[in-house]
Copies of this chain bind each other. A is one copy, B any other.
Amino acid sequence: MVATVKSLTLEEFLQLPETKPASEFIDGQVSQKPMPQGKHSRLQLKLCNAIAPIAEEPKLAGVFPELRCTFGGASIVPDIAIVRWNGIPREASGQVANRFNLHPDWAIEILSPDQSQTKVLGNLLHCSQHGTELGWLLDPAEESILIVFGDQKVQLLSGDRPIPTLSSIPLLLTVEQVFSWLSL
């Protein structure tokens, strides 16, 4: 999470070559996401695997890990972005587009060790302000999930509490279940 370049416009930022891990632009600042580690990688995969069959097979929503979303003067890369099926940008051919100039409908972030939670929460609040219905912020160290609703309301969940999901996606998960995926 290092500020690499300052005083750029969003347009100038978008001209820069992609970095790995991805860089994000928000509030006029550029910062690079942390290198994902074991717990992050595992939770990201397992969440995608849990959500995709329920969301994609009935064509309710698409699941996009590490997708750049540019909207509201910022360009962020949620760990998982879920976009309702009809809102997925498509090329004339019908294929999915490469550029997503829109907010995700559901954004999931997984906190990495030493990552600034303020910054990640700031990304989800930016989403919330610009139309995203739901955000999840997973904290593996605390085994809790902060839910960010559309009106910047938040709720902290742990234990056997069921987690709110994007409306119309019938996914039933508890916080415990999600973090149990870390045990091999």
Chain A positions near chain B (C-beta within 8 angstroms): 27, 111, 116-119, 121-122, 125, 139, 141-142, 144, 146, 151-156, 158
Contacts and interface: CB of A to CB of B under 8 A. Distances in A.
A156 B116 contact: no
Contact of A27 (B152, B155, B158): B158
B116 A155 contact: no
Among A117, A118, A152, the one with the most B-chain Cβ atoms within 10 Å of its Cβ is: A118
B117 A156 contact: no
A154 B152 contact: yes
A27 B153 CA distance: 21
A107 to B, nearest CB: 15
Among A117, A141, A144, the one with the most B-chain Cβ atoms within 10 Å of its Cβ is: A117
A32 B134 CA distance: 32
Nearest to A152: B153
